[in-house]
Structure 1
């Protein structure tokens, strides 16, 4: 069975905003390099789920010590009713193709969690990160525990 997927957003989770808005060129300086080994150690396949697209591999992955990761290509506007789902939700579920997944982001809501539970046949964890703080050790411990429970069910 294939490893679960971990969809990773950049703005908010990896680049915390902390109440300030910097120029794009300085944003990667906010990435904590210590997160890289922790992300690599998770029993899953990492996938960029960000509008940074190839810039995530060119500018963010090296800071984290990650190899180039696959990324989701965003097809265009969501077909979901306005205001109901986060614009990435349908595409992430489609990319997962029935595989278990974790989605780390700062912009989904309860409607997304409910929709994924109804539309996706495998287990999924939508883990919200506070964009003012970014991804923390506690967040990663939650993800690791969920992946561990998933592994014990396989």
Structure 2
């Protein structure tokens, strides 16, 4: 693993699955899928997921080492990656999920920074807030781009451009 290649910590719901889009209006380019990841077994109805197959090649072309940073964990390789044409990717294993942080940062933030271990990283998620930006700026010694995506729109062409340019060192960005 080349330590100069930045990591891309990628969430599923929000960036790839624009779950907040109006239910009757599937975003253009997206496919509607019904999935049953762990926790969505009957009698619960299957989970509706919208994915855009064009996102896979775009993600692979960004210049990052992609790591799933999602509650889907390794199941993203089963349910999400094949639809997008992605290879099997590493996934973060969360020590705890959905807990309240004493400093009010997102429950993923501390673990992402620890997992990056000083390496440059971008974090694409729909739940990044100002406290996360400040915490990352104080605690991560490398370059970081916490990148919030609107969960009603998902990743858009300009987002891919920004991420590609940041990975190439062409765009400053950071947690400050």
Question: Fold-level match, TM-score > 0.5?
Answer: yes
After superposition, the C-alpha distances for 1:65-85 in whole angstroms (9 at most, x for unaligned) are: 111100000001658316x10
Matched, 1:149 2:152: no
State the structure with more CA Rg. 2
User: How do 1:81-96 and structure 2 match up within 5 A?
Assistant: 81=102, 84-96=104-116
- Superposition RMSD in Å: 2.2
The structure carrying a bigger helix percent of its residues is: 1
* SS of the residue 2:48 aligns to: helix
In the aligned structure 1, how far is the partner of 2:170 from the partner of 2:121?
A: 10
Check if 1:53 corresponds to 2:73: yes
Among residues 80, 89, 92, which one is paired with 1:69 in the alignment? 89
Identify the match of residue 48 of structure 2 among 27, 48, 51.
27
- Structure number with the higher strand fraction is 2
1:26 Cα offset (Å): 4.9
Matched residue SS, 1:149: coil
Structure 1 stretches of 5 or more lacking a match?
none
Equivalent-residue separation in structure 2 for 1:79 and 1:96 (angstroms): 22
The residue number in structure 1 matching 2:149 is 129
Deviations 1:127-147 (A, max 9, x none): 110000111111111111111
Q: Which runs of 5+ in 2 are unaligned?
A: 25-32, 36-45, 172-176
Separation of aligned partners in 1, 2:114 and 2:157: 29
What's the CA shift string for 1:82-138, capped at 9, x where partnerless? 6x1011000100110110000000001011011101100000000110000111111
Instruction: Indicate if the aligned counterparts of 2:120 and 2:144 stay in contact, CA closer than 8 A.
Output: yes
The equivalent position to 1:98 in structure 2, one of 115, 118, 121, is: 118
CA distance in 2, matches of 1:27, 1:135: 18
Alignment length (residue pairs): 149
